[in-house]
Amino acid sequence: MEEVKKEKNEIWEWAKALLIAFGLAWLIRFFLFTPIVVDGESMMPTLENGDRMIVNKIGYDVGEPNRYDIVVFHAPEQKDYIKRVIGLPGDHVAYKNDQLYINGEAKPEPYLDPFKKEIIEGTLTEDFTLEELIQEEVVPEGYVFVMGDNRRYSKDSRHIGVVSMDEIIGSTSVIFWPPNEISIVK
């Protein structure tokens, strides 16, 4: 009788521990961090198709995106996109001769250097101004201008417009799969 009681008590303790573990895992995934799989080539050479990353969901609850952050956001097609923040609220964004200009000042994009070296003909990023794309002089308050690193093959703010900060899920910089690519990207 006492042995049956001990066995039931042990089963109950294990069940409670598992419930707590699953509950904590759900809370962490829902509120703090979530995995995402890179789908497509729009962020190459920085990110490869199939890379698995961790999305930090709490960073922008306490702060704002920074220029060059890699963010995940809900896109118009009911799909999540991974892109790089190029323009912040109040920024004038333009591209001329493969050079990024923010508020008239040339800005470096070292993450594009490996890709630019491979370009034989033309430029990686075609010329544009914000006015041509969204009919605004600056990125509106509450929005960001995003672009993929693979500029020739990226559906980004040049096509879908500026992204509301309310649509941003979080930032990502940690690749955890495949194992030979585990790294922090910038």
Residues annotated catalytic, as ranges = 42, 83
CA atoms within 13 A on the CB side of 33: 10
93-96 and 105-107 as β-strands: parallel, antiparallel, unpaired? unpaired
Alpha-helical regions (H) of 38-147: 59-62, 113-118, 130-134
The count of other CB atoms within 10 Å of the CB of residue 134 is: 18
Sign of CA dihedral 128, 130, 133, 135: negative
